[in-house]
Chains A and B, each alone.
Chain A
Amino acid sequence: MANIWTIAANELRMMFRSRSVMLNTFLLPLVLIFLLGAALSGVVGVKGDSSIDPVRVAVVYTGGDPQEASAVADFMKSPELDGYIIPVESSSRDEAESGLRNGKYGYAVIVPQDFDGKVQRGQEVKLEYILGKNSMDNTVAGTVFDNFLGAINYRQAAVQALGPQAAVAAAAAAEPASSRETAVKLGDLNNGGQSYTASQYYAASMLLMFLLYSGLDVSGSLFGEKDRHTLYRLGSTPVTGRELFFGKILGIGIVAALQCATIIILSNLLFGVYWGNRPWLLILFCLLMIVVSMTFSIIVSMFCKTLTTANTIVNFVTVGMTFLSGGMNPLPDEWVHSVGLFTFNHWAMDSIIRMMLHSGLSQLLPNLWVMSLIALVLLGAAIFSYRKVGYHA
């Protein structure tokens, strides 16, 4: 038993001496959580973003005379558009189209004949938008013109539904001072406790990704001894193969646990990530994830001949599972519930988020059983493969 500790301590010492391991284990996750938090923090809307370049919009009056569509013509001149839209009158649809293709315009609006008259008579009238080359410009211009048309549409509807007295009122009310106050209140998913932010989601997904990555340390350590031919030397010492093996795994397990604790504590202190109300259960899930990651890597290392092969497999499984569990970028919703279920990350992720949101214990237990089951199966497979293959020079 003492031998196991000696080897684990040595493993720890070697890892802590290596600068790259330290950077990768403790700094990288924090950098990533910060990047994710910073990149996705800004709620980007069309309004309030000063960095938007105005869009050059070609306006074609099919009737030829802008006076036929004074509502549109007035709107084009209104100061509201400043900074978003630069309207440019274009002679024909063809001219506008070719301008769009060669980048002269970012967007085009085709105004039909007798626009004003049709609006007043309550007839159907549609502006035609031609989408340009830049998705962002398309969104900006589309939103601006849709808002404009929406206002006209509601006014026309009001006149039709209420009769002519509404027209008078509409003229009087002219431009309702639209308050910039948002109509959407972000609800708190939480059942009490601190409020939940989107950055917590990514903190959890990054934590799990890095716990899976710690499997690379296992394969690195197991193969490193072989590649450096130091396993021969160890064979001449009074250490049994089993002690050596478990010592190594223990050492790496301790590093993984330390990494996990660092990520959780530092992300909390530095970025204010709240990790939920059940610290013991959180620890339990993290430990299960470490067991899963270690045992998986052991199985891979047992059946691979070289470090590169083993690392490639662990790497791809880690990135693949994080991706499929929706931890990197949003997946189609149905994927999370089909393919996502087959990833290790999904179960731990779901429970960590539920803990952050103070969900009841009954919702967490199923995840705990699944995680335990995965860990048990992998542990069994790891023991089996160790017995079958072993760890020899």
Chain B
Amino acid sequence: MHKILAIAWNMIKRTIGSRKGLLIHILVPSIVVAGVIFITGGMEASNPVLLYGNRDAGTAGGHLIAELERTGAYTLKEVKDEAELKEAVIAQEGSAGLWIPADYTANILQGNRPQVGMYELRTSESSILVKMKVDTIVSEMTAAAGLIQAADTSGEADQTAQFAAVLEQAREHNVGSIRTDYDLYPRQTLGVATGMTLLFLMNLVSSTVTQILKDRTGRTMMRMFSAPVRAYEITLGNFLGSCMVGVIQILVVLVLGKWVLRYDYEVPMTFYFLVLATFMLVAMGIASTIAGLLRNPKNAGMINMLILTPTCMLGGCFWPLSIMPEYMQKAANFVPQKWAIQAVDLASTGGGWDVLWQPFAVLGLMAAILLVIGSSVMRPSEASIGV
């Protein structure tokens, strides 16, 4: 047993024993991760900016904007003309731009369903929600216009005034809703913050696997195998050492995020730690499997990238899974990130172990399989320095 510990301790010392190792492997990445969490967490507080231009001669355009403002979900910013609106959207001054044409009210009063122009540089959750909201408000306005036409057939000017009066009355929101929010659901940004942490965590884990790989290319592993230690002791020792380094990395990230940047993880820190630690085992399995299949350590990092970024996208690290098409959501089941995020999601909504066992079982299984493959293919005999 103490042989395993000696190898593990050696592994830790080599990776983070020096001041520089500490800086490169612990401090810098942790600060980056904590910073990313901080930024994504801060997104919650800031409303997306919605640019608009209103050329409408009547009241409908103004009503639409007022109703959007009332939702409290957007910061509205007016621009002068359509060209300027486009330019502002391209310069990313807002998430989306709305353009209300000049004859908008008149068109509605004629019983049409005129369209508002919308500009966006990229699809995002907030732009999708804006679209839905506008759709609703316009439906209500066209319904009101229909009512006015059905009610009487007085002159056009009269109708315009009536329409304005109806809209003004509607803005009072006599019939409406109050939302009572007990914060039962996971915060939107929690998934992305977790996802970003996973992305960087996978990146970090590969660095310890590189150390093992270096032993192999440097022929050190061969020497170790000639020492009076068993193969499984070497494997376990290396594995334990990498685990410890990973655990330290996770701890530093969590401490920075929780107590320095004061990010609210919504779940007990021990649980969050458990999720990340389980995920780290999977990541380590992936990294060692790749490392075992490759001959050149230089390429290990690259291939890791090849696996890392697409799986993170598929697993919902960058955006909520629910906005993806269905077949992509199914494909996400094969990706460990999805299960880690799901575990955090379930726990933050108060789910107990009766539902939590599933993501953990999947993660554990993935880790076990990958680690077994990884350790079996990491043989010292294949220590050639290929290209």
Interface of A with B (CB < 8 Å)? 14, 17-18, 20-21, 23-24, 27-28, 31-32, 35-36, 38-46, 51, 97, 100-101, 119, 122-136, 138, 142-143, 145-147, 149-158, 160-162, 165-166, 168-170, 172-173, 176, 178-179, 181-187, 189, 191, 198, 201-202, 213, 216, 220, 224, 228, 305, 307-309, 311-313, 315-316, 319-320, 323, 326, 328-337, 350, 353-354, 357, 359
Contacts and interface: CB of A to CB of B under 8 A. Distances in A.
Contacts of A166: 147-148, 151
A185 B318 contact: no
B95 A178 contact: no
Contact of B28 (A14, A185, A224, A312): A312
B184 A336 contact: no
Contact of A28 (B118, B147, B152, B305): B305
Contact of A354 (B90, B97, B139, B173): B90
B325 A334 contact: no
Contacts of B181: 130-131
Given A28-B305, A332-B46, 7 more contacts: A28-B309, A35-B310, A101-B184, A130-B181, A151-B143, A178-B143, A332-B43
Given A124-B174, A143-B132, A146-B177, A183 B138 contact: yes
Given A149-B175, A333-B92, A357-B90, A158 B148 contact: yes
Given A162-B166, A169-B150, A326-B92, A183 B174 contact: no
B174 A122 contact: yes
Interface string B169-212: 11011111111111011101000100000011001000100100
A173 B150 contact: yes
Contacts of B364: none
B140 A184 contact: no
B299 A157 contact: no
A176 B143 contact: yes
Interface string B304-324: 011001100110001110111
A343 to B, nearest CB: 13
B342 to A, nearest CB: 12
Contact of A135 (B144, B146, B188, B305): B188
Please give me the 7 A-B residue pairs with the lowest Cβ-Cβ distance, nearest first: A183-B138, A157-B169, A157-B170, A185-B115, A20-B299, A161-B165, A201-B122
A150 B140 CA distance: 7
Contacts of B387: 14, 17-18
B136 A142 contact: no
B105 to A, nearest CB: 14
A127 B99 contact: no
Contact of A45 (B42, B128, B180, B326): B128
B267 interface: no
Nearest to A115: B175
Contact of A129 (B42, B123, B177): B177
Contact of B313 (A35, A213, A224): A35
Contacts of B140: 150-151, 153-154
Interface in B16-63: 20, 24-25, 28-29, 32, 36, 39, 42-43, 46, 48-49
13 contacts: A14-B387, A20-B296, A38-B328, A42-B323, A44-B128, A46-B132, A97-B182, A101-B184, A127-B178, A186-B120, A305-B20, A312-B207, A316-B29
Contacts of A45: 128, 131-132
- Pick the most buried of A146, A161, A220, A353: most chain B CB atoms within 10 A of its CB: A161
Contacts of B115: 182-185
A156 B162 contact: no
B261 interface: no
A178 B125 CA distance: 25
Contacts of A179: 113
* Overall SS of chain A's interface: helix
A125 B90 contact: no
A173 B151 CA distance: 10
B34 to A, nearest CB: 13
Contact of B144 (A31, A157, A172): A157
B268 interface: no
B95 A333 contact: yes
B176 A149 contact: yes
Nearest to A18: B387
Contact of B210 (A124, A189, A308, A329): A308
A331 B39 contact: yes
Contacts of B137: 150
B49 A315 contact: no
Contact of A132 (B126, B185, B309): B185
Contacts of B93: 333, 337
Given A202-B122, A334-B46, A154 B144 contact: yes
A132 B181 CA distance: 8
- Pick the most buried of A128, A131, A138, A216: most chain B CB atoms within 10 A of its CB: A131
B78 interface: no
B134 interface: yes
B123 A40 contact: yes
A123 B92 CA distance: 43
A161 B25 CA distance: 68
A216 B301 contact: yes
A248 to B, nearest CB: 14
Interface in B88-128: 89-95, 97, 99, 113-126, 128
A162 B151 contact: yes
B299 A21 contact: yes
A319 B324 CA distance: 23
A4 B108 CA distance: 71
Nearest to B181: A131
A154 to B, nearest CB: 5
Contacts of B147: 154-155, 158, 162, 166, 169-170, 173
